[in-house]
Amino acid sequence: MSGNCCGDSNSRNRVAVVLEGGIVQSVVADRPEEIEVAVIDYDADGCDESEIARLTQPDGSTSDAWVYDCMTERSRISLDEVFAERPDDTVQG
């Protein structure tokens, strides 16, 4: 595969999750065909019981979650800009 507009094909496969209003709008990647993405939403109130998965947590307890596969698409935004080094004075939380 040759390089693409969003990164060198020999570089790591970069992934970005796009949120708006606290909801995943899309997942984009340099090479989306090489990854699988699942969204896990622990705010499962209002979901149908058939949509709920019981997931084991690190402490051994279980939590209900809405889990869904998320289609990953080739990025049309510049992931070079997304993953650019930030100035030292940038506050990151």
Mean pLDDT of the chain: 86
Q: Return d(Cα 63, Cα 55) in angstroms, integer.
A: 5
Confidence class for position 54, pLDDT limits 50, 70, 90: very high
In this prediction, residues 14-22 reach a mean pLDDT of 94
Confidence class for position 10, pLDDT limits 50, 70, 90: low
In this prediction, residues 40-64 reach a mean pLDDT of 94
In this prediction, residues 51-74 reach a mean pLDDT of 95
Confidence class for position 85, pLDDT limits 50, 70, 90: confident
Q: Name every residue whose Cβ is closer than 8 Å to that of residue 47 and which is 6 or more positions away in sequence.
A: 66
